[in-house]
Amino acid sequence: MRLDKLAMVNRIATERADLKQQLDHGKIEVAINCRTQDGTFTQLVTPVVREELRSRIRALDADLKALGVVIS
Q: Where are the domains of the chain?
A: 3-66
pTM for this prediction: 0.69
Strand partners, 31: 40
pLDDT in tens, 3-62: 888 999 999 999 999 889 888 887 766 555 555 566 566 666 678 888 888 999 999 999
Question: Which parts of the chain are beta strand (E)?
Answer: 27-31, 40-44
Asked if 60 and 19 touch (Cβ cutoff 8 Å), the reply is: yes
pLDDT band for 64, please (50, 70, 90 cuts).
very high
The radius of gyration of the chain from alpha carbons, rounded to an integer in Å, stands at: 15
Q: State how far the Cα of 27 lies from the Cα of 45, in Å rounded to an integer.
A: 5
